[in-house]
Structure 1
Amino acid sequence: MGWVMYKTHKGLNTYENESLAPKDAFEVLKYIKNKFGKRLKSGKEFWDIVTDDIYNDLIIDGIKINLGFDNWSGVFIMAWDERGNELVKEIAEMIQRDKFLL
C-alpha cells in the first residue's frame, strides 16, 4: 500500500506504511538522521520495545515526534503534539521526493 498520511482522533499527523517490517523502522531512523543532521537533537540508538511495538522519540528543531513500528500501522512517524504536524508533513514530503521505501 505504501506511505499514507492519516490524522489521529486528536488531530495529529501520522505517516504510516503498513507494508514495512520492524527492521525498516531502523532504516527510517537512519534516513531521518542523515536528512536532518544537526537539526536532530535526539534519536536513541536503543529503542523502547513494548510487546510487539517498537518506538523512538525524536526531537528535531525542539519538536518531539515519534517513530516506530506496530502490527496495525507498520512503520509510523507521528506528531507528539500539534507542533509536530508540520514536521511530519516535511518528512513525508522528503520520503515521497526521494522515493524512500515506497
Structure 2
Amino acid sequence: MLFEAPHGTAHDLYLKYQESEGKEAHFNSSALIYAVANALETLGERENNAPLVDYSQRLKMALIDTVGDGIITGDLKGKTTDPDAETVVDMQGFLAAVEMRLSNCVDAD
C-alpha cells in the first residue's frame, strides 16, 4: 500500500515559505498527518500491535477535531463547513494544535 499526501499546492506554498525567509510554513500538514496515521494504522494491524493502532486512531481523531474546530493551514482556507469561523495558522501552529488535542484524546478502548 502507498500512503501519501496530495501535492497540488506544494510549489505555491514553498514559494511563500521562501518569501518569509523560512519563518512561515503553510504546507499541507493535515494531509501529511492523515497519510502517516493511515500508514501507522495499517502497520499496527499487520503486526498485531494494538498500541500502534490505538495511537494512529487517536492521531486521526486529533487531526479531525483540530480542523473541526476551525484551526487550519492556508491550503484549507474556505474549505471547512464554517469558513467564517476558521483560524488560519502556519504549519507549526497547526502541528501544535493537533498535538494539544492528541494529548487530550483518551485511548480508543
Is TM > 0.5 for Structure 1 vs Structure 2? Answer: no
More helix by share: 2
Greater gyration radius: 2
TM-score normalized by the length of structure 1: 0.30
TM-score normalized by the length of structure 2: 0.28
